[in-house]
């Protein structure tokens, strides 16, 4: 008889954890499970006593696909767990605050996904990788992606037949735009004249807005615009974009509320203008982004829009050259949306600049809590946190947070 284990909690990656620690994927706190122990990982897991929060996974691909980690848990459990992840990260830094109800994006709303595709002896195979596996699982009934993305997967397989090697895989990023599908491919054969001509014919037949091959634009039938407030922006191929429009709107609503009434705003890690351009409807904005192509796209979007206040788009590496207190002095609100590493160098300057309002958007509760502690120690108050779950059924957590200088709250 195999040994049994009691699952005590979930880790940050969504795995159940028993004493040891022993990690057991797709298990829940309070469950008794058995399986084969390999190092610190339990495999061939059998749930001997299930949790009341365990549900039947809504997607038939769940067992083999690695795209989701938490479909076996009730929506209520996942929401409470994600709130708890952020709360515990802050508590570890000695911070308590108000948590607003979590905002969860609906199923079938992911507007962007990277599909793995490779050639096989019989043809092609496209989908998501299994958990910690090189095996690709086909996902025709995926419950996560917008149906338009799923419908495009057979066309993605054609790209592998045309430009994929038998040894490697293509990574094909599919993004919904205002005018059609934006397709960006990495890992294919080197681009030469014949391949470029063939790929150009593909986009003509498929009706895609744009096709890029290793960042080189092959053809663009229609600029794949994204709407940010009153502006339409054409991001560079494969550029960062919030995972769902619904989640983006929830984060934007929080940022607009935090900065309400501000006349001069600086948007750090601005991307292509997700927050900057809507902010420009009521405030002058300086945007700062490390990628020059994204800065150019933002600037062009602003120039083509009507009725917006001044937006000055700047390219600058904020990890190496953060904005200094004297540069920040003229702004009455700061927005920052850093990558997973957080904004440690920039926070060091912000605590000295003492700008009255900070809207912090984060995709990593641990680095957010680290940066929040620096701000709170410097005299800021963390007023509230809005957790946004736009990566439904995954362990990923996003949030927006409101900081103001303590004297403003007196």
Cβ–Cβ < 8 Å for 164, 136: no
Q: Where are the alpha helices (DSSP H) in 53-145?
A: 75-91
DSSP count for the chain of H helices, then E strands: 9, 24
* DSSP strands (E only) in 196-254: 210-213, 216-220, 226-228, 231-233
Q: Which two tokens stand for residue 186?
A: 């990495």
Whether 363 is catalytic: yes
* Contact status, residue 337 vs residue 271, Cβ threshold 8 Å: yes
Q: Which H or E element spans position 228? A: strand 226-228
Structure tokens at 66: 């690695």
Catalytic residue among 65, 142, 272, 363: 363
Residue 92 phi/psi, 5° resolution?
Answer: -65, -20
Q: Give the H/E segment covering residue 113.
A: strand 112-119
Q: How far apart are the first and last CA of the chain?
A: 64
Helix, strand or coil for residue 397?
Answer: coil
Identify the CA nearest to 379 among candidates 398, 355, 401, 362: 355
Secondary structure class of 162 (helix, strand, coil): helix
Instruction: Please say whether the beta carbons of 362 and 342 come within 8 A.
Output: yes
- Residues whose CB falls within 8 Å of the CB of residue 247, separated by 6 or more in sequence, listed in order: 103, 105, 388, 389, 390, 398
Distance in angstroms (rounded) separating the CA atoms of residues 8 and 160 = 44
Give Cβ neighbours of residue 21 (< 8 Å, ≥ 6 apart).
Answer: 40
Catalytic positions, written as ranges: 363
């Amino acid at each position: 008889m195999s040994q049994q284990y009691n699952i005590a909690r979930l880790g940050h990656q969504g795995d159940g954890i028993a004493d040891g620690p022993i990690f057991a994927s797709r298990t829940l706190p309070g469950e008794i499970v058995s399986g084969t122990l390999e190092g610190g990982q339990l495999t061939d897991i059998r749930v001997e006593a299930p949790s009341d929060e365990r549900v039947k996974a809504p997607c038939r691909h769940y067992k083999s696909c690695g795209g989701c980690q938490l479909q076996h848990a009730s929506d209520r459990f996942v929401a409470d767990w994600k709130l708890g992840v952020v709360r515990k990260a802050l508590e570890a830094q000695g911070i308590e605050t108000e948590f607003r109800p979590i905002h969860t994006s609906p199923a079938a709303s992911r507007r962007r996904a990277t599909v793995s595709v490779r050639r096989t002896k019989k043809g092609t195979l496209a989908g998501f990788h299994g958990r910690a596996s090189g095996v690709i699982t086909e996902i025709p009934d995926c419950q996560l992606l917008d149906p338009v993305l799923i419908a495009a997967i057979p066309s993605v397989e054609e790209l592998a037949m045309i430009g994929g090697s038998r040894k490697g895989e293509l990574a094909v990023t599919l993004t919904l735009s205002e005018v059609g599908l934006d397709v960006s491919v990495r890992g294919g054969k080197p681009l030469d004249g014949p391949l470029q001509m063939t790929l150009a014919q593909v986009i003509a037949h498929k009706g895609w807005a744009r096709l890029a091959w290793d960042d080189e634009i092959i053809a663009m039938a229609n600029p794949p615009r994204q709407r940010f407030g009153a502006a339409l922006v054409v991001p560079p191929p494969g550029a960062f974009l919030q995972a769902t429009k619904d989640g983006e709107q929830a984060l934007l609503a929080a940022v607009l509320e935090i900065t309400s009434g501000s006349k001069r705003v600086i948007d750090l890690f601005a991307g292509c203008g997700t927050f900057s351009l809507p902010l420009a409807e009521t405030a002058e904005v300086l945007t700062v982004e490390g990628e020059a192509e994204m800065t150019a796209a933002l600037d062009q979007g602003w120039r083509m829009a009507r009725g917006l206040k001044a937006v000055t788009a700047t390219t600058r590496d904020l990890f190496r050259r953060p904005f200094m207190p004297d540069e920040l002095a003229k702004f009455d609100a700061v927005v920052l949306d850093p990558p997973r590493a957080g904004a440690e160098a920039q926070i060091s300057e912000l605590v000295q600049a003492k700008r009255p309002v900070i809207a912090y958007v984060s995709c990593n509760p641990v680095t957010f809590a680290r940066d929040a502690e620096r701000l709170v120690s410097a005299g800021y108050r963390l007023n509230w946190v809005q957790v946004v779950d736009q990566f439904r059924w995954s362990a990923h957590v996003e949030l927006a947070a409101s900081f103001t200088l303590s004297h403003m709250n007196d």
